[in-house]
Amino acid sequence: MGSTPSAPKYNQSADIAEQNRLNQAAGLQQYANVNGPLGSYSTSIDPATGQITVNKQLGASSQAAQNAQLAALSNYSGDPTEAANAYYNAQMAYLQPQLNRQVERAESSLTNRGLPLGSNAWNSAMGDIYDAQNRTLTALSNEALANGQQYQTNILNQAALAGGQVIDPAMVAGQAGAGLENTYDKLYQNQVDQYKTKMAKQNSLTSGLLGAVGTIGGAVLGGPIGAAIGGSLLGSASKAVTDVNGNYMGQVGGYGTYQG
């Protein structure tokens, strides 16, 4: 008879490595790769860290729209001051010469009328002109501030309009883990099943041999002693499994010699 089969050894490192492989493969399956006129999606994995990345590439028209959106947003600050000042200064470049000419004409008119500079009549007339000009400038300041606020709003509207033209490629959801199998678990289970089969065969063969030896011993010795010896041999079968050819047959031979 051969030696007792060795029980399979569980390899934890191999099992963990296989499970990591399954996890990574399942992650890569989470989204199916897509490539078409509207763009593409693909998945990649960092072999060092196992980090899974979904890579997106827009189509040409969508990429242009996204570029326009980003360009618009780069001009957005949320602060209307800069745009308001720009508007105010542009309007004043046109308005200030008019205000200056208005003052010059009024002073000339008062002088021609013989009103002395600094007199009550002079000051009253010029005060009215300056008040009117201040009201004009105040209205312009308010207009400039409103224009600056509208400018910021327009940027957001432009960005939103451009963003509405960005079309994502149709991402198709995959079934994570579909068709994946832990090959190590399957291999280990096969080894366990083979071990059980071999042990069952050996135990069956050993039991048959012991039964035959017990019967022969009882028949040779005969009588009550032979029956007792046969039963004793069968009762010690569990001990004989370890080394059938050695220890057990030595016991039988010794006992026979003793009886002789």
Mean pLDDT of 49-76: 82
pLDDT in tens, 90-137: 999 999 999 999 999 999 999 999 999 999 999 999 999 999 999 999
- By DSSP bridging, strand 172-173 and strand 31-32 are antiparallel
Instruction: Provide the H-helix boundaries in 164-240.
Output: 183-221, 223-235, 237-240
For residue 87, the tally of other CB atoms under 10 A from its CB is: 21
Q: Please indicate, yes or no, whether the overall pTM of this predicted structure exceeds 0.75.
A: no
160-169 per-residue burial string, b: 16 or more CB within 10 A, e: under 16: eebeeebeeb
- 153-167, 177-191, 244-258: least confidently modelled range: 244-258
Residue, of 49 and 213, whose pLDDT is higher: 49
Q: How far apart are CA 244 and CA 203, in angstroms?
A: 11
Q: Say what the pLDDT of residue 208 is.
A: 66
Mean of the pLDDT values across residues 17-33? 67
Cross-strand partners of 173: 31
Residue 210: burial class (beta carbons within 10 Å; 0-12, 13-18, 19+): buried
What length does the chain have?
260
Q: What is the pLDDT of residue 216?
A: 53
- Report the b/e string of 52-63 with b at 16+ CB within 10 A: beeeeebbeebe
Break the chain into its structural domains and give their ranges: 77-163, 188-259
| Structure-derived torsion over alpha carbons of residues 213, 214, 217, 223, reported in degrees to the nearest 10 | -160
